[in-house]
Each structure stands twice: as structure tokens, then as C-alpha cells.
């Protein structure tokens, strides 16, 4: 007699029936909720999950993963949905596990400059809640991202040149493994020489090895003085040279951001940046004690003017600084407004700082040859930049954009760079992993995945290309 295995749909319904006694009011199959969880930002790839479960505790996550592991039902963790490489798009018959209700600050240790938070808390909410302590969390990717999601994608942002990425600012994690087992990694100490560095293993794993439910974060003291300015340049080369020299001279600048002339024209219009011209522009932020800030400002001005900078315009008040950085964070929407009916594909790459000028100038040539509009911007202080490729809504338009994307990433890899400095891999960067890491390293990654998630239920099809011992 032949015994047929249950279908994917049957296995899914079995899981939901087992979870309903515990999570009845936290399970949704409403169409609007499924649609919200079918995709992230900037990629058209979308698929409705079969159900959305709103976790409210680590124990909820554990209960879901235990049942899904037994029944072999795929699970995709979901935070704010702001990832841009298809990270949260579910496979068929999958559960989207939403952690956005897990927003508690579990503990705050102001004297030790650390805190522990649930994964659904956003960085903006954390900084609002701890403002009176004189501390803040500096990693700033721009969007309203959850801290768990920022760990999962190893997020970075405008302040990375001074404070580093999530990797440098996380001390430990609570993680639920594919089997439902709960583990804690790291701790509260600033360094340890014991055991494997499991914290770093999960940071950047994009929900493929476990689901992060709590994060132990480093905090930093708010600086005495903050000052922001912009400097415009007639050509892209001079702006890039200025940014490179700032870093090479060791000036401890808080942020240095680039927008090329096309992006500035869009941002001036979208964000109402009065008094500025559509020229390549560097955005600066300086922080520290008043005397130290003045030293940074003087050194930076000298470098900018020596590279044909057109003078500094200062944002003196907190409101003016906020408006300036909001314009930088709204760059995607400003680019989209250039042609409102078009689609915008956002890509990023990173190279050693000394190769940045060569990369961006080559990319500019590729953009011109493509015939597409593609503003450039980025965190040039650490060699990372973004291209916002504007193309028509059609298969042909999408393929033209992907062709340009491949040329951009190919240039970065040829210059000892990476296919992504902060967006991550998801589905959008899979094709570049073998070139960047080599098959030997990928085979180790696949073996780790298969060991920690033997049924491949955690965010399948993301981060790792298919290969030996891994089906995706």
C-alpha cells in the first residue's frame, strides 16, 4: 500500500490548527494583512503568505517554529517590511511571522552604555524613549526599520563612518532556532575570547539560520555639539576626492554623504531645499566637544576648497539639520518623483575607499551608455554608494535596469569590493555570491544552513544560491 505524504497545504493547515489554541487572536488570513506581508520595498517580487502570525514574545516565536519544523512549513520573519532585496517575500504555502508587536525595552543599563530590546522595536522609538539618559543608538539606515530586522540584514547607514554598522553595535542576541530551541549569544561585556562568535553568525543571516527576538545593543553618549553643512561641486570627481581625503586624513567626521547632480535636482524639488543648485553635493555632520568640532570643520573646509568646493552652507538649528538629513533619507522618493509612473530599482555596492573614485566614474559612464536615468548617492565615507535606476514598467524596462545593475556590481567586484554594503542579498543579489565569495566559502555556508535548519524552513531561497546540500 502506498502512503502519500501530506500536501504543503495540508501541512500548513495542521500547523495553524495546532497553534490556534495558543495564538488564536494573533493569526490572520485577511487579504489586506496578507498583501502587506507579501513584499518589502523597491522590488516587485511579491507573493501572498498563507497566513500571518503576530508574535508577542520569544515563546510565541518558539511555538511557531517548533510546529513548522515538525510539519516542514516555511517561515519568513517580518519586521517593518523596509528591506529592498526581496528578503521578506514568502515562498508558497508559507507563514509570515511578524515581530512588530515585540517593542519592549527589556533592560536599560545607562551606566554601562547598553540596553536589551525586543526585536520589533524601531531605532527611532528606542532613541525617543532613552533621550533623557543622554544616550542614543547611532545606526541609521534611514527607514523606519526594526532593530531585529537591522540585525538580520547587518544594516548600516549614514553614521557608519563614525559609529560602524550593526555588527559593531550588537553585544548579544536571543535567537530562536528552526527547531524552536531558544538560545542566547554574547552578553553585556565589550569583549570576550570564549567560544565561537555566534552573535556575528546571526547578524546578516537574513532570517535563514534563526529568528532574532531580542538584541543587546551598545549605546553612545550624545555629543555636546552637532553641526551640519553642505558643500557643492561643479564635478563629481572633486566631491569624491574630498570625501576620500577626509577619511584618509583621519578626520573623525560623523557623516559624509554624496548626492550627484541628478539626485540633487530631484531632492531640491521634492524636499524643497531652497538656495541650492542642482550640482554634486556633499552633506557633512560634525559632532563632539565644541573645540573638537571646530577642528573638524576647519580641516574639512580646507580639503573641500582645495578640491574646488563652492563654499559651505550651514544648518545651524536642530530643525535645519533634521530637514537636511530628512532630504537625504527621502532620496528614493525624490528619485521616484522624477518620473512618477516609472519604477525605481535601488542597488548598492561598496569598494575600498581608495577605489571609490574609479568605481563611481566608471558607473557614470555605464549609466550614460544605458540611456537610463540613474541618480547616484551614498555613504561615501566608507566607500558605499547607491544607484537609483529609473526604468519603465515592462519586462524590457526591468531587464535594461538589471543589465545596468550587473555592470555596476561587476565593476565593484573587479575593484575588490562587494555586491552590497548594506542592502544585503535577499533574492536580488543571489547571482553575485559565487563571484564574490567563491564556491568553497559558499559550500561552508550551505553546510551551516543545512545543519542549523535541516528542513530548510527558514526564509528559503534567500541569501544563498542553490547548490550542493542546499535546495533553497
Partners of 221 in the β-ladder: 135
Helices 318-329 and 261-271 pack at an angle, to 10 degrees, of: 120
The neighbour count for residue 406, using CB atoms within 10 Å, is 15
SS3 sequence of the chain: CCCCCCCHHHHHHHHHHHHHHHHHHHEECCHHHHHHCCCCCCCCCCCCCCEEEECCCHHHHHHHHHHHHHHCCCEEEECCCCCCCCCCCCCCCCEEEECCCCCCEEEEEHHHCEEEEECCCEHHHHHHHCHHHCEECCCCCCCCCEHHHHHHCCCCCCCHHHHCCHHHHEEEEEEECCCCCEEEEECCCCCCCCCCCHHHHHCCCCCCCCEEEEEEEECEECCCEEEEEEEEECCHHHHHHHHHHHHHCCCCCCEEEEECHHHHHHHHHHHCCCCCCCCEEEEEEEEECHHHHHHHHHHHHHHHHHCCCCCEEEECCHHHHHHHHHHHHCHHHHHHCCCCCCEEEEEEEECCHHHHHHHHHHHHHHHHHHCCECCEEEEHHHCEEEEEEEECCCHHHHHHHHHHHHHHHHHHHHCCCECCCCCCCCCCCHHHHHHHHHHHHHHHHHHHHHHHCCCCCECCCCCCCCECCECC
Alpha-carbon span 240 to 270, nearest angstrom = 24
C-alpha cell, 389: 535606476
Question: Where do the domains of the chain lie, and which CATH numbers do they carry?
Answer: 8-98 (3.30.43.10), 105-221 (3.30.465.10), 225-332 (3.30.70.2190), 339-414 (3.30.70.2740)
Give the model's pLDDT for residue 274: 86
Alpha-carbon span 335 to 327, nearest angstrom = 11
Burial 364-386 (b: 16+ CB within 10 A, else e): bebbeebebbbbbbbbbbbbbbb
Alpha-carbon span 413 to 405, nearest angstrom = 12
Record the pTM: 0.93
Give the model's pLDDT for residue 1: 43
Instruction: Report how far Cα 173 is from the mean position of its chain's Cα atoms.
Output: 18
Give the model's pLDDT for residue 190: 87
> Strand 95-98 to strand 105-109: parallel, antiparallel, or no bridges (unpaired)?
unpaired
First to last CA, the chain: 32
Give the model's pLDDT for residue 41: 83
Alpha-carbon span 16 to 330, nearest angstrom = 39
pLDDT tens, the chain, 472 aa long: 444 578 999 999 999 999 999 999 999 999 999 999 999 986 667 899 999 999 999 999 999 999 999 999 999 999 999 998 999 999 999 999 999 999 999 999 999 999 999 999 999 999 999 999 999 999 998 778 999 999 999 999 889 999 999 999 999 999 999 999 999 999 998 888 999 999 999 999 999 999 999 999 999 999 998 899 999 999 999 999 999 999 999 999 999 999 999 999 999 999 999 889 999 999 999 999 999 999 999 999 999 999 999 988 888 788 888 888 899 989 999 999 999 999 999 899 999 999 999 999 999 999 999 999 999 998 888 899 899 999 998 989 989 999 999 999 999 999 999 999 989 999 999 999 999 999 999 999 999 999 999 999 999 999 999 865 545 4
Give the model's pLDDT for residue 381: 87
C-alpha cell, 358: 574609479
Give the model's pLDDT for residue 248: 92
CA-wise closest residue to 73 among 472, 457, 470: 457
Give the model's pLDDT for residue 143: 79
Provide the sign of the torsion angle of the four alpha carbons 395, 401, 405, 407, taken in this order: positive
Give the model's pLDDT for residue 5: 74
Give the model's pLDDT for residue 107: 98
Amino acid at each position: 500500500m502506498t502512503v502519500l505524504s501530506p500536501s504543503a497545504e495540508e501541512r500548513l493547515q495542521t500547523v495553524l490548527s495546532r497553534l490556534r489554541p495558543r495564538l488564536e487572536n494573533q493569526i490572520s488570513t485577511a487579504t489586506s494583512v496578507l498583501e502587506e506581508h507579501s513584499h518589502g520595498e523597491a522590488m516587485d517580487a511579491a507573493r501572498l503568505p498563507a497566513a500571518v502570525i503576530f508574535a508577542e514574545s520569544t515563546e510565541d516565536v518558539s511555538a511557531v517554529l517548533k510546529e513548522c519544523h515538525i510539519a516542514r512549513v516555511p517561515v519568513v520573519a517580518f519586521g517593518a517590511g523596509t528591506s529592498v532585496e526581496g528578503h521578506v517575500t514568502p515562498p508558497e504555502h508559507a507563514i509570515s511571522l511578524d515581530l512588530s508587536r515585540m517593542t519592549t525595552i527589556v533592560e536599560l543599563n545607562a551606566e554601562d552604555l547598553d540596553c536589551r530590546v525586543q526585536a520589533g522595536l524601531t531605532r527611532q522609538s528606542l532613541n525617543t524613549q532613552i533621550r533623557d539618559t543622554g544616550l542614543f543608538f547611532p545606526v541609521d539606515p534611514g527607514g523606519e526599520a526594526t532593530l531585529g530586522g537591522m540585525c538580520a540584514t547587518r544594516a548600516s547607514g549614514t553614521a557608519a563612518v563614525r559609529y560602524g554598522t550593526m555588527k559593531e553595535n550588537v553585544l548579544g542576541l536571543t535567537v530562536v532556532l528552526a527547531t524552536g530551541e531558544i538560545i542566547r549569544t554574547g552578553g553585556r561585556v565589550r569583549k570576550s575570547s570564549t567560544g565561537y562568535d555566534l552573535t556575528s553568525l546571526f547578524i546578516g543571516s537574513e532570517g535563514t539560520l534563526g529568528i532574532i527576538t531580542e538584541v543587546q545593543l551598545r549605546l553612545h553618549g550624545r555629543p555636546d555639539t552637532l553641526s551640519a553643512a553642505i558643500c557643492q561641486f561643479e564635478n563629481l570627481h572633486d566631491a569624491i576626492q574630498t570625501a576620500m581625503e577626509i577619511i584618509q586624513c583621519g578626520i573623525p567626521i560623523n557623516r559624509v554623504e554624496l548626492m550627484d547632480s541628478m539626485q540633487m535636482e530631484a531632492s531640491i524639488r521634492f524636499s524643497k531645499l531652497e538656495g541650492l543648485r542642482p550640482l554634486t553635493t556633499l552633506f557633512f555632520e560634525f559632532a563632539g566637544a565644541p573645540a573638537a568640532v571646530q577642528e573638524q570643520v576647519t580641516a574639512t573646509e580646507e580639503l573641500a576648497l582645495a578640491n574646488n568646493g563652492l563654499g559651505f552652507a550651514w544648518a545651524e538649528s536642530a530643525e535645519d539639520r533634521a530637514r537636511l538629513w530628512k532630504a537625504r533619507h527621502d532620496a528614493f522618493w525624490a528619485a521616484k518623483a522624477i518620473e512618477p509612473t516609472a519604477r525605481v530599482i535601488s542597488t548598492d555596492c561598496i569598494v575600498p575607499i581608495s577605489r571609490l573614485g574609479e568605481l563611481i566614474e566608471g558607473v557614470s559612464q555605464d549609466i550614460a551608455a544605458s540611456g537610463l536615468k540613474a541618480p547616484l548617492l551614498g555613504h561615501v565615507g566608507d566607500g558605499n554608494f547607491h544607484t537609483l535606476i529609473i526604468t519603465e514598467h515592462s519586462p524590457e524596462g526591468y531587464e535594461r535596469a538589471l543589465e545596468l545593475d550587473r555592470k555596476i556590481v561587476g565593476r565593484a567586484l573587479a575593484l575588490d569590493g562587494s555586491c552590497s554594503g548594506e542592502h544585503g542579498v535577499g533574492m536580488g543579489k543571489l547571482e553575485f555570491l559565487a563571484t564574490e565569495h567563491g564556491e568553497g566559502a559558499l559550500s561552508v555556508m550551505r553546510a551551516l544552513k543545512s545543519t542549523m535548519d535541516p528542513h530548510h524552513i527558514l526564509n528559503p531561497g534567500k541569501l544563498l544560491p542553490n547548490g550542493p546540500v542546499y535546495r533553497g
